[in-house]
A = this chain, B = another copy of it.
Amino acid sequence: MNLLLFRPEETGRPLPARDPRARHLLAVLRRGAGGTFDAGLLNGPRGKGRIESISSDALTLSFRWESDVPSPDPITLIVGLARPQTARDILRDATTLGVAAIHFVATEKSEPSYAQSSLWREGEWERHLLAGAEQAFSTLVPQVTFDQSLETLLAQLPAAHTRIALDNYEAGRGLAGHPIPRDHPLALALGPERGWGACDRVALRGAGFTLTHLGRRVLRLETAAIAALTLTKAARGAL
């Protein structure tokens, strides 16, 4: 944890000693009463936290926030519903790299049972977003959905988005050579582990997506997500 993130409602009450952030402050950062640490308000400013007092069951904290509130890079990541372990990595790493939204969508070759994973049913997905943001030293956590079909999602995508999909099989050009406007919002779509189906491609092309590839080597989905975000971030001038 490079930065400890707090929800607004958490900043006015003691932090339970069993909370992972409390344990991190005491056991890893070895802070005592009066100690300060880097803190962030979820989707708000960064700042400094201070431990006012420590009791056996809670820490009393105070915060001073910076005036700057960051805004997310307007990138919407669309991913075919993937194996839970793959989805965990993508939630964390895409948040670290910085996106505005991540939508896991049902596609032709998605395995429907993946939607029943505890990752989605029990709210575990939020934990991976927080870990990704804390790693990046950022307060920004993307909007996430996991209950829509590809078609439904595409129908809602705002018109201004540049639209790029990754495809191992039918892409005519590499993503690295594809022009990406710097100042437009961007939608980047990756299929699930087994790739896009024919109807998915019809939907993507119909919605104005260009199919691009990442070279001749077949990457794991979570690796492809990092590589594609890296290239789009670089094209937008962030790296």
Contacts and interface: CB of A to CB of B under 8 A. Distances in A.
Given A223-B93, A231-B239, A217 B176 contact: no
Contacts of A138: 217
Nearest to A235: B176
Nearest to A137: B218
A220 interface: yes
B218 A135 contact: yes
Nearest to A228: B230
B231 A214 contact: no
Interface string A134-177: 01111000000000000000000000000000000000001110
A226 B96 CA distance: 13
| Oligomer copy total | 2
Interface in A105-141: 135-138
Contacts of A174: 234, 239
Interface string A207-218: 000000111011
A174 to B, nearest CB: 5
Nearest to A93: B223
A137 B234 CA distance: 27
Nearest to A233: B215
A98 interface: yes
A54 to B, nearest CB: 27
Given A176-B234, A226-B230, A227-B226, A97 B219 contact: yes
30 contacts: A2-B218, A93-B220, A96-B217, A96-B218, A96-B219, A96-B220, A96-B223, A97-B217, A97-B223, A135-B219, A135-B220, A136-B218, A136-B219, A137-B218, A174-B234, A176-B234, A213-B239, A214-B239, A215-B238, A215-B239, A223-B226, A226-B226, A226-B230, A227-B227, A227-B239, A230-B230, A231-B231, A231-B234, A231-B239, A234-B234
Shortest beta-carbon contacts, A-B, top 6: A176-B234, A136-B217, A176-B239, A227-B230, A215-B239, A226-B226
Given A98-B217, A136-B217, 13 more contacts: A2-B218, A96-B223, A97-B219, A97-B227, A135-B218, A174-B234, A176-B239, A213-B239, A215-B233, A215-B238, A215-B239, A231-B231, A231-B239
Interface of A: 2, 93, 96-98, 135-138, 174-176, 213-215, 217-220, 223, 226-227, 230-231, 233-234, 238-239
